[in-house]
Amino acid sequence: MTLEYAYQGPKRGMDRAVLLAHGAGADMRAPALVVVADALADAKIPSLRFQYPYRSAGKKAPDRPPVLTAATREAAAELSRRSKLPPERLVLGGRSMGGRYCSLVAGDADEPVPCVGLLLLGYPLHAAGKPEKERSEHFPRLRMPVLFVSGTRDALAAKPALTKAARKVKGKATFCWLDTADHGFRPLRSSGATIDEVLARVAASALEWVSGLPA
């Protein structure tokens, strides 16, 4: 499998690096991923964004789960190679679907991908309109620290439901709630906040959490 990559930051000298996977309806140039990657680069923390095969092929519908899983695993291995860090020093994560697949490979029952933490930006706890089918069955196998960055109006992960589901995580779960933001991190106009201001908070929260992980 040949994937497209965007690597930022130093190629050596740091003790951690971050994988950033995109959501189903976006690509590796999604604003939320770019602002986080830029903030990490300014702090000399390497990051790697990548393109799932369906986006490189110009398709809108995501690849089948086995392809998404294989691509996520391959991207994690590529970040390890480029940053010259062992897998257990990597933070895996990304937006929505991408973050979910990072959590799935990290919590795989048979061959988990080691990591120092999971950065989940807008975790899609359930598909649209199907809150009864939660995507949290693998949470008990997550023994690493996890940061959930979610909007308080996220239609795919209501605050009470996500907070409850995260109790299954064995590692330390931390939350950054974005006031009035929806699944795409867009705030209500009445909040007085702009999308750029919300994304700046996403980046700042991600950087603070990643920087604070154990050395």
* Closest-CA residue to 24 (of 137, 117, 124): 124
Rounded to whole angstroms, how far apart are CA atoms 134 and 143?
19
Rounded to whole angstroms, how far apart are CA atoms 86 and 83?
9
Rounded to whole angstroms, how far apart are CA atoms 48 and 28?
9
pLDDT in tens, 121-154: 999 999 999 999 999 999 999 999 999 999 999 9
Tokens 């809150």 found at: 131
**Mean pLDDT calculated for residue range 31-59:** 97
**Mean pLDDT calculated for residue range 38-45:** 97
Rounded to whole angstroms, how far apart are CA atoms 132 and 137?
13
Sequence length of the chain is 215
Question: Exposure string (b/e) for 163-172, b if CB count within 10 Å is 16 or more?
Answer: eebbeebeee
Residue 1 has a pLDDT of: 79
**Mean pLDDT calculated for residue range 188-195:** 96
What percentage of the chain reaches a pLDDT higher than 90?
96
Where do the domains of the chain lie? 4-212
Q: What angle do the packed helices 97-106 and 65-83 form, to 10 degrees?
A: 80
In the chain, which residue ranges form alpha helices assigned H by DSSP? 31-42, 53-56, 65-83, 97-106, 159-165, 195-212
pLDDT at 13 over 90: no
CA distances from 35 to 49, 133, 197, 204 (A): 12, 31, 11, 9
* Closest-CA residue to 120 (of 149, 156, 97): 149
Asked whether 84 and 7 are in contact (CB, 8 A), the reply is no
**Distance of alpha carbon 135 from its chain centroid, rounded?**
15
pLDDT at 166 over 90: yes
pLDDT in tens, 51-94: 999 999 999 999 999 999 999 999 999 999 999 999 999 999 99
Residue 11 has a pLDDT of: 79
Residue 77 has a pLDDT of: 98
- CATH superfamily entry for domain 4-212: Alpha/Beta hydrolase fold, catalytic domain (3.40.50.1820)
Tell me the two tokens of residue 52.
Answer: 């799932």
* Closest-CA residue to 179 (of 206, 157, 201, 210): 201
* Closest-CA residue to 119 (of 186, 25, 211, 215): 211
> With bands split at pLDDT 50, 70 and 90, how would you rate the model's confidence at 215?
confident
**Mean pLDDT calculated for residue range 93-110:** 98
pLDDT at 23 over 90: yes
Rounded to whole angstroms, how far apart are CA atoms 72 and 198?
27
Residue 10 has a pLDDT of: 86
* Closest-CA residue to 109 (of 66, 75, 68, 138): 138
What percentage of the chain reaches a pLDDT higher than 70?
100
